[in-house]
Amino acid sequence: MTDAWQKRWDDRYSTATYAYGETPNEYFKAQLAKLEPGTILLPAEGEGRNAVFAAKSGWKVSAFDISSEGKNKALQLARTHNVTIDYAIGELPKLNYSKEQFDAIALIYAHFPADLKSDYHKLLVNCLKPGGKIIFEAFSKAHLEYRTKNEKIGGPRDIESLFSIEELEADFEHFESIELEEREIELKEGLYHNGKGSVVRFVGRKL
């Protein structure tokens, strides 16, 4: 990843206000409630709202991001809620997570650069135990139309960084699909996710 990519996220997370709020994503919250607590990894976790919620729910939480500003905010939020999270800084291939380490992986608006996103998904599959679950919500390729109408909804500006059902089917081909859909939703998450958008949602179990 480029220095400009890292700087973008450091700049976004450097203010006192939490860019996407301090409460968890609603889809993540609902899906996590269906699982027995275990070990969970949250890639591109930013300021920690989902990681802290998972820790409060009894999970042993690992997270990573490229932004040290995001990590600082996440650890601050964890202290506020009297929980601990293991938060790493760096790019996934260099973080040395173990094969079949996690019971669940949650990809919540984890919009990695377009040239890396499928490779990252496949690396993450290796970190998931057989029977482990993926929880995924991110903007779909149809989202560009929503962003054109309302900049406050946020999300990538290039279609290559957005997701399709077909891409997820390919990246997670050795999974039982529990839920996989594209739909319009209303978001109200901090400063940068506000209004109607188009997302892809996926819950899958590794075979």
Q: pLDDT per residue over 5-29, tens digit each?
A: 899 999 999 999 999 999 999 999 9
Q: What is the DSSP string of 88-131?
A: EES-GGGS-PPTT-EEEEEEES----TTTHHHHHHHHHHHEEEE
| pTM as predicted | 0.97
β-strand pairing of 60-65 with 86-89: parallel
How far is the CA of 30 from the CAs of 13, 59, 98, 120, 176, in angstroms?
26, 15, 27, 25, 19
Domain at 117, CATH number: 3.40.50.150
Q: How many CB atoms lie within 10 A of CB 27?
A: 18
Domain span including residue 22: 3-206
Burial of 33 (0-12, 13-18, 19+ CB in 10 A): exposed
pLDDT at position 130 is 98
State the total domains in the chain. Answer: 1
pLDDT at position 3 is 86
CA atoms within 13 A on the CB side of 66: 20
Q: pLDDT per residue over 196-207, tens digit each?
A: 999 999 999 999
